[in-house]
Amino acid sequence: MAVLRAFIVGTVTVHLTHVVYKWNDSSHRTVEILVGQRLDYYRRHEKDCLTTDVDDAIDVEVMISIKLVQEPGAAFPVAHVTFMPSAGRQRIRVPPGFRIVLRNDSSISVERMPLEGAVPPALTDAQVHNANCYWSVPRREDGHAVREAWLSYEWAGTSEHGALLWPVFKQPTSFDRESLKDVITPWSVRHFLLNKALEDRYNPIPSAVFVEKRFRVHHARKRFSLTNINRLMILAGAPEERRADLEYGAKLVMAALNSEVVTDAVYEETLADAYAQGMLGV
């Protein structure tokens, strides 16, 4: 049987002044995005739009959202590329001089490209952030991989020292706020906490309270409560100057747990006890 090759679905090329998104379809369409603009690429292509409302909420039907952000005082703009809910609505940040290639197997590859014009020296060490995520429906991790990730997450939460693990499959690359924001979204938290692979009755976790959905959410709520920051600091082995960043990450987790993405009608029954105890009353 012939092996199916991963073909290119689209590319995102970041220049010093603009971003070019190219569809790999028969029309070979391209669109240019400037600072102050955002392209929302929908499942139904006729709805695609280029807007100046760059900070508005992204519609659930949007597959890819691209904007070019020029922070005050920054030497160069950075493209923010946010993906669909089924990919955890995660984001990658791409500086000028890189091309992001999106393939049909949901993988992302990064290519360097030459820039025209005066190149800021600060770009020499610039890197793409969070390019190890999936851009569309994530590859299906087998049940063993899911349970191993869950065990690591749970055991890290009971350790006195060691790495702090967030309730997502792919961990942030660092504790800085933008890296946390890349990865910790309501959708990525939902994918991790409510994963069906954890319902396997032969799972290696010794206690059922680590498996039931309501307890997964309950434990995450307790662990990332702002009253538990000192404990998180110990788990992370973080110096005091990183406290504000760690608090920011905890707030992202709590916002995800309180969002309708995690607490929607599909899961209300499993979270009934949490509602009764007032844990979801915000």
Give residue for tokens 């922070």.
71
Res 28: pLDDT = 74
Nearest to 106 by CA among 39, 41, 172, 10: 10
pTM of the model: 0.84
Q: What is the mean pLDDT of residues 185-191?
A: 92
Residue 117 in tokens? 């014009």
Residue 190 in tokens? 């939902």
Q: pLDDT-derived band of residue 128, with 50, 70 and 90 as boundaries?
A: very high
Give residue for tokens 């309270």.
209
Which tens digits make up the pLDDT trace of 81-115? 999 888 889 999 999 999 999 988 888 999 999 99
Which tens digits make up the pLDDT trace of 21-53? 998 766 678 999 999 999 998 877 667 789 899
Res 32: pLDDT = 96
| Start-to-end CA span in the chain (Å) | 54
Q: Is the pLDDT of residue 275 over 60?
A: no
Most confident of 32-36, 138-142, 154-158, 189-193: 32-36
Q: State the chain's mean pLDDT as an integer.
A: 84
Torsion 217-218-220-226 (CA) sign: positive
Q: Is the pLDDT of residue 280 over 70?
A: no
Higher pLDDT, 200 or 278: 200
Res 3: pLDDT = 47
Which tens digits make up the pLDDT trace of 199-252? 766 655 555 545 677 788 888 999 999 999 998 998 888 889 889 999 999 999
Res 139: pLDDT = 63
Residues 75 and 98: their CA atoms lie apart, in Å, by: 16
**Could you tell me which residues are beta bridge partners of residue 1?**
none
DSSP state of 261: T
